[in-house]
Structure 1
Amino acid sequence: MAKVLVVDDAAFMRMMLKSILVKGGHEVVGEAENGAVAVDQYAALKPDLVTMDITMPVMEGIEAVKKIVSSDPAAKIIMCSAMGQQGMIVQAIQAGARDFIVKPFQEERVLESIQKLVG
Structure 2
Amino acid sequence: MRKIMIIDDAAFMRALLKDYLISLGHEIVVEGCNGQEAIQLYKRYKPDLVTMDITMPEMDGISALKEIMKFDPRANVIMCSAMGQQQLVLESIRAGAKDFLVKPFSKDRIVEAVDRVMVSR
- Short-chain TM bin: over 0.9
Look up the SS of the partner of 1:100 in the other structure.
Answer: strand
Q: Report how far residue 118 of structure 1 moved.
A: 1.2
Which residue identity is paired with 2:44? A
Distance 2:76 2:35 in 1: 15
Runs of 4+ in 1 over 2 A off after TM superposition: none
Unpaired segments of 5 or more residues in structure 1? none
Unpaired segments of 5 or more residues in structure 2? none
Distance 2:23 2:108 in 1: 11
List per-residue Cα deviations over 1:68-108 (Å, max 9, x = no partner). 00000000000001000000000001111010011011001
Distance 1:89 1:117 in 2: 16
Partner of 2:21: 21
Look up the SS of the partner of 2:101 in the other structure.
Answer: strand
Partner of 2:71: 71
Q: Report how far residue 111 of structure 1 moved.
A: 1.3
Q: Report how far residue 117 of structure 1 moved.
A: 1.2
TM-score, normalisation: structure 2: 0.97
Partner of 1:80: 80
